[in-house]
Amino acid sequence: MKAVVFPGQGAQFVGMGKDLYENHALAKELFEKANDILGYRITDIMFSGTDEELKQTKVTQPAVFLHSVIKALCTPELQPEMVGGHSLGEFSALVAAGALSFEDGLKLVYARAMAMQKACEVKPSTMAAIIGLPDEKVEEVCQEVSGENGIVVPANYNCPGQLVISGDIEAVNAACEKLKEAGAKRALVLKVGGAFHSPLMQPAKDELEEAIKNTEFKAPKCPVYQNVDGKAHTDAADIKQNLIAQLTSPVRWTVEVSSMVADGATDFTECGPGKALQGMIVKICKGNEAVTISGIE
């Protein structure tokens, strides 16, 4: 079975989508429609802006979404039998599966980006990638550290041996030190604007919840695997609730990919900028020779 997966924030690069815009009439039409919806020319930033401009959450999220979704819509042979997305990528997956329209997907992603940026400005916070430790050890240290220094929680279960933590700056730094002492190969504070997928995103969740509730969702044409539980969903109401919970819940990507394989996925295709998900899936499916992993050029 064919699984198509979509990346999240962090996959962006200057020049992304320019080839699509110049070589596909449908892509050009959709990019221009996005410029109209957003009220500014995001294509100018995507195609020829600076890294700093593109790194702003309010720009990055719609940019990655647009690149991913437009690439999927311009690749008719893709025909997924199941879809999933990492964090922001879940919105791209929902559009690819027909649960959300292109226009509504973009509006929600922009609302999400603005709400998250606002939450980041109110409460300075960060994330860090922990490499080379079992998930259980990272969870244990996060529990130990949370308290006087603020909170720190597991945020992205990316693949075996790679877990991203999220929370207050002091708490994340303290956790990194303890995790290095515990044998982590790396404990790298990330250049992100805030503590995504942690309780610190509650104000953003409250704001986005209203927008999601007021948006029409349809039953998807194929199962959508969601971050909050890593399981397949086809009921529009369930998908909405899981999407609302996503901002303050961890991304269970390892479970999600494993569920897809258990349900018959043999061909994973990453659709969007970068190759980060391919690398994670290789590690999750290590030893499973039946699984093939690729991207779309």
Active site residues: 87, 197
Q: What is the maximum span of the chain, computed from C-alpha positions, in angstroms? A: 56
What separation in angstroms does the CA of 288 have from each of 133, 254, 257, 279? 22, 14, 13, 14
Going by C-beta distance under 8 Å and a sequence separation of 6 or more, which residues neighbour residue 125? 166, 167, 168, 169, 172, 194, 195, 198, 200
For residues 228 and 287, give the distance between their C-alpha atoms in angstroms, rounded to a whole number: 26
For residues 252 and 67, give the distance between their C-alpha atoms in angstroms, rounded to a whole number: 23
Using the Cα atoms of residue 145, residue 151, residue 154 and residue 156 in order, give the sign of their dihedral. Answer: negative
